[in-house]
């Protein structure tokens, strides 16, 4: 069955690494606004953020009209995906959401800072803080209820550890840690 895979989490959670590896392993198209912006200015993606965003939505619509599974990445800090999920489901897509998280927003900030030092793109600290809280709450309170299946993944030790999914909690301590941040 064709599937829309949504890889989500705050900036610095490891979304792009996970999504690239997953999409390559599964031979799926990967749509990411940051990757689109890098085509225009590899060292200054903020300069082409709006253009890349428009191209992301164009590519998303093209993919929704195809019969192939594909992967998108998002911070999940807004509600725009609600309409996309609805549209995808109407077009026969199964929706699979993978939410990546770290223990604290300071870890996310640290990872983004390291990424910049290694030539990657920057995200303002205030954006990271805001998205960290908002995306976790939106995952817990809205998005996980809209999709066919979801997986919560901890990436704090630089390895992807499945914490819970729609059927089971695999690590109670990490799950409670995540929930504590969403209340």
CB 165 within 8 A of CB 98: no
Residue 91, classed as helix, strand or coil, is coil
* 3-180 CATH: 3.40.50.300
pLDDT tens for the chain, 183 residues: list them: 999 999 998 887 888 889 999 999 999 999 988 777 777 766 666 676 778 788 889 999 999 999 899 999 998 988 999 999 999 999 999 999 999 998 888 877 777 666 666 666 666 667 777 888 899 999 999 999 999 999 999 998 768 999 999 999 999 999 999 988 665
**CB burial string 135-151: b at 16+ within 10 A, e below:** bbbbbbeebbeebeebb
Question: Which residue carries 């599974």 as its tokens?
Answer: 69
Rounded to two decimals, what is the model's pTM?
0.89
Segment holding 51, helix H or strand E: helix 49-64
CA distance 142 to 149: 13
Domains of the chain, residue spans: 3-180
Sign of CA dihedral 127, 118, 42, 96: negative
Q: What are the Cα distances from residue 111, in Å, to 27, 55, 161?
A: 28, 27, 18
Which one, of 182, 14, 2, lies nearest residue 98 by Cα? Answer: 14
Instruction: Cite the beta strand spans of 75-118 per DSSP E.
Output: 94-101
């Amino acid at each position: 069955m064709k599937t829309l895979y949504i890889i989500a989490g705050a900036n610095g959670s490891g979304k792009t690494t996970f999504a690239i590896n997953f999409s390559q392993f599964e031979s799926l198209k990967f749509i990411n606004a940051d990757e689109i912006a890098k085509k225009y200015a590899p060292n200054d993606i903020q300069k082409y953020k709006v253009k890349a965003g428009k191209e992301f939505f164009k590519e998303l619509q093209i993919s929704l009209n195809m019969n192939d599974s594909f992967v998108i990445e998002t911070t999940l800090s807004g509600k725009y995906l609600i309409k996309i999920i609805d549209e995808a489901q109407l077009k026969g897509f199964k929706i699979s959401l993978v939410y990546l998280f770290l223990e604290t927003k300071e870890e996310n900030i640290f990872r983004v800072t390291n990424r910049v030092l290694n030539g990657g793109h920057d995200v303002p600290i205030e954006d990271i803080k805001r998205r960290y809280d908002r995306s976790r709450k939106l995952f817990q309170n809205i998005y996980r209820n809209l999709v066919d299946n979801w997986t919560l993944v901890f990436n704090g030790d630089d390895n992807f550890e499945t914490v819970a999914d729609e059927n089971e909690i695999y690590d109670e301590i990490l799950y409670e840690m995540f929930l504590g941040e969403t209340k």
